[in-house]
Structure 1
Amino acid sequence: MQFNPASYGSPSLAVERNRVLRNTYALLALTMIPTAIGALAGIQMQFQMSGLMGFLVFMAVSFGAFWAINKNKNSAMGVVLLLAYTGFMGLWLSQILQFALRFSNGAQLIATAAVGTSAIFFTLATIATVTKKDFSFLGKFLFIGLVIGLLAMVANMFFAIPALSLAISAAFVLIFSLYILYDVSNIVNGGETNYITATLNLYLDVYNLFISLLNILMAFTGNRD
């Protein structure tokens, strides 16, 4: 069987993949606006919905949003639904931000987590884009790790073990960092061709990475004085 160079990495395919990647990054940047608005609104309202009930509400809204966004991923409505969902995610984020702001250095912790998240994202996204290496082999490992992490998180709602909470956050930092590598690689190598669903995937990676980093920073460097 002869290798046909036109069948792989053709200029038209490369242009299309670059277009998807550019649109994904642009939309990802845009999602930060409703996220910030939702977070500020939640802080002002002192929004709180934690525990098992909060977890169930969050999962129900999230899975409903995933279904609706995927259903409309080829239309402008998909963008509207994605932005609406990120506003909800900002509202949910306000709960941990409120907790962080109870520390005297809370604003610094939040800023450090944001800088750390940005540094990890840009580093791994650059690696995936420049090397064009296929990281799809990580998919099964990451999914299993995510499921185990979620189950551990639910269990810790009942046991409330600080060490377990810290271990879960550390594991999620690794998992969602690798998910950034996996998801960007998926776009670069043509596995993901829709920029709306690609943005949703990367948004969730960044969002969960930020929360995990913030949890670790609060545990180790939070100042209650």
Structure 2
Amino acid sequence: MSILNGVLRNTYALLSLSMVPTVIGAWLGVAFGLNFMAGNPFLGFIVFMAIAFGFFWAIQKNKDSGLGVLLLLGFTFFMGIMMSGLIGYTLNSYSNGATLIMLAFGGTAAIFAVMATIASVSKSDFSGMGKWLMVGVLLLIVASLANIWLQLPALMLTVMVLAIAIFSAFILVDVQRVINGGETNYVMATLAIYLDVYNIFTNLLALLGIAGGNRD
């Protein structure tokens, strides 16, 4: 049990550290106006997925070494750059953009705290949810790609709300997997939970912009 607690502690420590390159990447992206999705969203998505899966493969291959940690931090820097388009849009489009970003950060932190606590204390087994949640993620990707052409506001809102719900549930699965010994590598555990937190934050921020953004 002490070993598993050590994995969880290391996971949370690396997760906290991973926020630093994410913020740096987002700041640089906003400062230099980087937005890979602006010109051709579909092509941008393909390039993003290719780079992301390249990182996934490299991190998996080097998960037991210090290089794995460096690759993970490099990935979070890349994800920060990818987030910069949304951050820049929020700051430039809404007079309360900075407030919306802080609200999204606080909301994401609250969701993580609640879900991680439930995963830690609950006697329920959440592992069975994993495959259904993955199906949900695939459907979200298909719906998001379709909406590049459809441009349906209702579909966009639905995707955002479902994404927040699905990745919140993924925190239950991913944290409990570490606690139960299903994942004993803290680098891979951090990668999984980081993706949960990242997707909650970005979708929550976009949703807050639509619901509470002030364009005055």
Q: TM-score range by the shorter chain?
A: over 0.9
2:192, 2:83 → 1: CA distance?
17
Structure 1 segments (4+ residues) deviating >6 Å? none
Pairing partner for 1:100 from 86, 90, 108:
90
Structure 1 position 49 matched with structure 2 position 33: no
The AA in structure 2 aligned to 1:32 is M
Measured on the aligned residues, the alpha-carbon RMSD in Å equals 0.8
Q: Which residue of 1 aligns with 2:22?
A: 35
Segments of structure 2 that go 5 or more residues without pairing to the other structure are none
Normalising by structure 2, we get a TM-score of 0.97
Taking only the aligned residue pairs, the percentage that are identical comes to 51
User: Larger Cα Rg: Structure 1 or Structure 2?
Assistant: 1
Task: Map 1:82-101 onto structure 2 (within 5 A).
Answer: 82-101=72-91
- With 67-76 and 126-135 compared, the bigger mean Cα shift is at 126-135
Pairing partner for 1:160 from 151, 161, 172:
151
Task: Map 1:160-199 onto structure 2 (within 5 A).
Answer: 160-199=151-190
Q: Which residue of 2 aligns with 1:114?
A: 105
Aligned partner of residue 128 in structure 2, secondary structure? helix
The AA in structure 1 aligned to 2:50 is A
2:33, 2:104 → 1: CA distance?
21
Segments of structure 1 that go 5 or more residues without pairing to the other structure are 1-13
The AA in structure 2 aligned to 1:56 is I
Pairing partner for 1:144 from 135, 138, 143:
135
The AA in structure 2 aligned to 1:100 is T
- With 21-30 and 209-218 compared, the bigger mean Cα shift is at 209-218
- Verify the 8 A CA contact 1:134 1:186 in the aligned structure 2: no
Structure 1 position 58 matched with structure 2 position 48: yes
- Verify the 8 A CA contact 1:114 1:210 in the aligned structure 2: yes
2:206, 2:26 → 1: CA distance?
17
Structure 1 position 72 matched with structure 2 position 65: no
The AA in structure 1 aligned to 2:25 is G
Deviation at residue 152 of structure 1 after TM alignment: 0.3
- Verify the 8 A CA contact 1:166 1:215 in the aligned structure 2: no
| Residue-by-residue CA offset, 1:98-141 (whole Å, 9 max, x unaligned) | 11112011111110000000000011101111225321010111
1:168, 1:107 → 2: CA distance?
24
2:125, 2:18 → 1: CA distance?
27
Normalising by structure 1, we get a TM-score of 0.93
